[in-house]
């Protein structure tokens, strides 16, 4: 297949999709072709599209994340594009980001493990928020009394933070300042839910150990 047509089809498919497209999914676009492109040809075409998007006059970039390939707004123009939405981005507490960071770097990990490191109870609200965002999931249970849930991050977590794999996480030293995890998240400086829970002796759902 001519590379120009191949690039056009791939670009259109990724633009139309509402989520990242994996190589397997992209390859299936050509099942009915007399001479479907080989996987290396698709990768080469994707790289060519990504290179073309690097031009300074382009406002989008082609990014490979854990779930596949997607177009996204370049960071340089993101502030202007954010004005399309009247609703302000949700802010997350430092407690939530600390909990997420511990799960990301020490997974699989139990709620009790997190509490031991942070020195404060982890509220049900934080775990619920992370689960609802599909940033974490239960991947098993530790074989100790009570069989506490083991938490790990998801592909959605990697996609959100523009990562292809956990190997791309920044070093722990780089995360000494939690604001560096993701500037757009913002941080609420008021008392966080888990500290409120700890002060009144409410740790939410059953505590792991």
Q: Domain holding 75: CATH number?
A: 1.10.10.10
The confidence score (pLDDT) of residue 1 equals 83
Rg (Cα) of the chain, in Å, rounded?
Answer: 21
Q: What is the pLDDT of residue 176?
A: 56
Per-residue model confidence (pLDDT) at position 150: 96
Q: What is the pTM of this model?
A: 0.72
Do 115 and 65 reside in the same domain of the chain?
no
Query: CA torsion, points 110, 139, 105, 157, in degrees to nearest 10?
Result: -120
pLDDT digits (tens, 9 = 90+) for 61-114: 999 999 999 999 999 998 899 888 876 667 788 889 889 999 999 999 999 999
Q: Are residues 35 and 119 in the same domain?
A: no
Q: Does 77 lie in the same domain as 53? A: yes
pLDDT digit string, tens, across residues 3-62: 999 999 999 999 999 999 999 999 999 998 888 999 999 999 999 999 999 999 999 999
Region for 128 from its dihedrals, namely left if φ exceeds 0, alpha if ψ lies in -120 to 50, beta otherwise: alpha
| Of 32, 64, 84, the domain-final residue | 84
Q: What is the pLDDT of residue 83?
A: 86
CA distance 60 to 71: 6
Secondary structure (3-state) at 64: strand
State pLDDT tens for residues 123-172. Answer: 999 999 999 999 999 999 999 999 999 999 999 999 998 899 999 888 76
Region for residue 117 given its phi and psi (left: phi exceeds 0; alpha: psi -120 to 50; beta: otherwise) = alpha
Report how far residue 55's alpha carbon sits from residue 131's, in angstroms, rounded to the nearest whole number: 38
Last residue of a domain, one of 84, 119, 148: 84
Q: Residue 86's pLDDT is what?
A: 73
Per DSSP (E only), the strands in the chain are 60-65, 68-73, 92-93, 136-141, 149-153, 187-188
pLDDT of residue 194 exceeding 70, the answer is: no
Is residue 80 located within the same domain as residue 114?
Answer: no
Helix axes 94-106, 193-200, angle to 10 degrees: 100
pLDDT number for residue 196: 47
- Domain span at residue 44 reads 3-84
Domain presence at residue 171: yes
Question: Is 209 part of a structural domain of the chain?
Answer: no
Q: How far is the C-alpha of 41 from the C-alpha of 29, rounded, in Å?
A: 14
Number of domains in the chain: 2
Do 50 and 98 share a domain, yes or no?
no
73 vs 80, 96, 147, 148, CA distance in Å? Answer: 10, 26, 43, 40
Contacts of residue 107, defined as CB under 8 A and 6 or more positions apart, other chains included, come to 139, 150, 151, 152, 153
Domain boundary at 46, 65, 84, which? 84
Residue 205 confidence (pLDDT): 41
């Amino acid at each position: 297949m001519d590379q120009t047509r191949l690039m056009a089809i791939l670009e259109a498919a990724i633009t139309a999709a509402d989520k990242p497209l994996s190589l397997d999914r992209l390859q299936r676009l050509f099942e009915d072709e007399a001479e479907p492109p080989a996987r290396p040809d698709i990768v080469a075409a994707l790289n060519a599209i990504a290179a073309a998007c690097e031009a300074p006059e382009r406002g989008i970039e082609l990014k490979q994340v854990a779930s596949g390939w997607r177009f996204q707004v370049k960071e340089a123009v993101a502030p202007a594009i954010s004005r399309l939405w009247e609703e302000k981005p949700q802010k997350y507490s430092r407690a939530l980001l600390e909990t997420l960071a511990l799960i990301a770097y020490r997974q699989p990990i139990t709620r009790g493990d997190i509490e031991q490191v942070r020195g404060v109870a982890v509220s049900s609200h934080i775990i619920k928020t992370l689960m609802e965002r599909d940033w974490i999931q239960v991947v098993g249970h530790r074989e100790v009394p009570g069989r506490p849930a083991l938490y790990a991050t998801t592909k959605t977590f990697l996609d959100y933070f523009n990562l292809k794999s956990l190997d791309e996480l920044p070093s722990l030293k780089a995360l000494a300042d939690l604001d560096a995890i993701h500037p757009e998240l913002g941080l609420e400086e008021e008392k966080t839910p888990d500290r409120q829970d700890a002060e009144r002796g409410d740790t939410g759902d059953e505590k792991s150990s």
